[in-house]
Amino acid sequence: MAQAPEVKQMSTGPAKNLVTIKGTKEGLTVILDDQCSFDDLTKELKEKISNDKQVFGDGPEVEVKVDAGYRYLLNHQKEKIKHLLEEAESILVGEFHSEVISKEEARREREETGLTAVTRIIRSGQILRIRGDVLLLGDVNPGGIVEATGNVYILGTLKGIARAGVEGRETSVVCASVMAPHQISISDAIFYAPSRYEKKESGPLFGEPVYAYIANQDLEISFEKTRLLNQFQSAAAAKQGETLST
Amino acid sequence: MGEAIVITSGKGGVGKTTTSANIGTALALQGKHICLVDTDIGLRNLDVVMGLENRIIYDLVDAAEGRCRVQQALIKDKRFDCLHLLPAAQTSDKSAVSTEQMKQMIEELKPDYDYIIIDCPAGIEQGYKNAVSGADQAIVVTTPDTSAVRDADRIVGLLEQEEMAPPKLVVNRVRRINEGDMLDVDDVVSTLAIDLLGMIVDDEEVLKAAHKGEPIVMNPNSRASLGYRNIARRILGESVPLMAIDQKKSFFSKVKSMLGLKA
């Protein structure tokens, strides 16, 4: 991990200013020094809170953000800091921010955002489960299942079941070269294909590659031509950005 | 050293036993040394189809449990000296034999034969596992209907996990059908995505032959017989074109197609 030189210099001074409370336009941020020992940190935090108790006083509750810099906070350490801060009755700890994450978290994050390419046929009775997006080069035969926490892209014929966003990501899509599925699900929305007998003719539902997506609030699955997928995904990304910033 | 080929399908009643008997007999017709092994313990049929049920003394379970040597349990076919049958037991069930015992028996038979044809029971349980354990190759039999193809697909998936060459496909009971009423052979092949070894047209003669205890390949005039003979030749490495499904055209339609009109 990269070091933060300016922070380091600050902490070489006497053992004070380990805890800085800063007002930003998003609210109060408690900046914790990331070079000292955790014990020193909690000691100073305790002092600071008891001194400043009257500053926060009995005004309305303020939500503060905790910035731990390059320190990795374990869960029980987070609990302790949260507990200390909330000694001052009007403080409510919001989120913890840290520049470092554990290897495990990093691996999971990479999985969740990564694309896994698989070259095989998913036959009846077989299940392919992938974290993140999956690109399947092959068919999904009737009775076969492909599951992903992200998007499902199939370069081949989807005749079985595809599940995208199995952990609830509603912007996920199921995309297939030839769409003739038994069932598609995205997050909690499920699409059942018309049964063989209801269909006038056998074969794919569409004459060209399509993707399945959640169209509206009613969690209804619709299909759209794959060449329009970029519009959907950029709209979804914009929407996600909006919810993050608010 | 012989090669062991398992004939399997997943679904019951698609013609595994008939296919085993006929491929075995067709290979014997070509002068190969063949051993048919019935692994459908408890529901043996292969001996009946071959017309050999009266000659059984020892069976597969006896051989597995050491009550006799494997060679003693073999029955010689009444038509060919080079065709032998290892019958299944009728009184035990599938768990009477383990995969290790099965493997050992097949290994013991291999030096004496060119091909060992293993007739697999329906299902994907112990019986299937036993049948597949000793095999070097697999032939998947299916009929052109949705449920049989679904089961065949499952079996192909399971066979891919075994250490053997990719399985070959036989589509049995193919009829001439109207577009959309049924699957055609191309649909089956494209779904399963494995090599087509041959197809057998639906032929009443097969039932009649089974009733007589005589494999259909013995009748040179049947179209199903020709299909099995072609499969045997393909197994031996010859390249034989697939035959057309609808051969019985009327004189008029032949003339019409000759003239370039729609038949």
User: How does pLDDT run across A50-96, given as a tens digit for each residue?
Assistant: 777 666 666 677 788 888 889 888 888 888 888 888 877 777 888 88
pLDDT tens for each residue of A203-215: 677 888 999 999 8
How far away is chain A from the Cα of B190, in angstroms, using its nearest Cα? 10
Residue type, A25: K
pLDDT tens for each residue of A173-221: 999 999 999 999 999 999 998 776 565 555 677 888 999 999 877 888 9
CA separation for the pair A156, A168 (Å, rounded)? 25
Instruction: Verify whether the Cβ–Cβ distance B193 to A126 is below 8 Å.
Output: no
Q: Which domain holds residue B24?
A: 3-258
Q: Is position B263 within any domain?
A: no
Percent of chain A clearing pLDDT 70 (strictly above): 85
pLDDT confidence of residue A43:
86
pLDDT confidence of residue B263:
42
Q: Is position B237 within any domain?
A: yes
Q: Is position B14 within any domain?
A: yes
> If one looks up domain A106-245 in CATH, what number appears?
2.160.20.70
Instruction: Verify whether the Cβ–Cβ distance B157 to A126 is below 8 Å.
Output: yes
Q: Is position B155 within any domain?
A: yes
The ipTM, to two decimals, is 0.78
Domain boundary assignment for chain A: 5-100, 106-245
A5-100 classified as CATH 2.40.330: no
The confidence band for A11, taking pLDDT boundaries of 50, 70 and 90, is: very low
Quote the number of domains for chain B.
Answer: 1
pLDDT confidence of residue A200:
52
Chain B residue nearest residue A201, CA to CA: B180
- Average pLDDT taken over every residue of chain B: 90
Give the CATH number of the domain where residue B203 resides: 3.40.50.300
Contacts of A202 in chain B (CB under 8 A): 180
| Residues whose CB falls within 8 Å of the CB of residue A93, separated by 6 or more in sequence, listed in order | A63, A64, A66, A81, A82, A85, A86
Instruction: Verify whether the Cβ–Cβ distance B191 to A202 is below 8 Å.
Output: no
Higher pLDDT, B47 or A242: B47
Q: Is the pTM of this model over 0.80?
A: no
Chain B residue nearest residue A124, CA to CA: B154
Ranges of residues in chain B with a pLDDT under 50 are 263
Please choose, from the candidates A45, A47, A59, the residue with its C-alpha nearest in 3D space to the C-alpha of residue A89: A59
Instruction: Verify whether the Cβ–Cβ distance B146 to A196 is below 8 Å.
Output: yes
Contacts of A124 in chain B (CB under 8 A): 150-151, 153-154, 157
Please choose, from the candidates B239, B164, B135, B165, the residue with its C-alpha nearest in 3D space to the C-alpha of residue B197: B239
Strand ranges, E, within chain B: 3-8, 34-38, 75-76, 83-86, 115-119, 137-142, 168-174, 195-201
The confidence band for A13, taking pLDDT boundaries of 50, 70 and 90, is: very low
Chain A residue nearest residue B151, CA to CA: A124
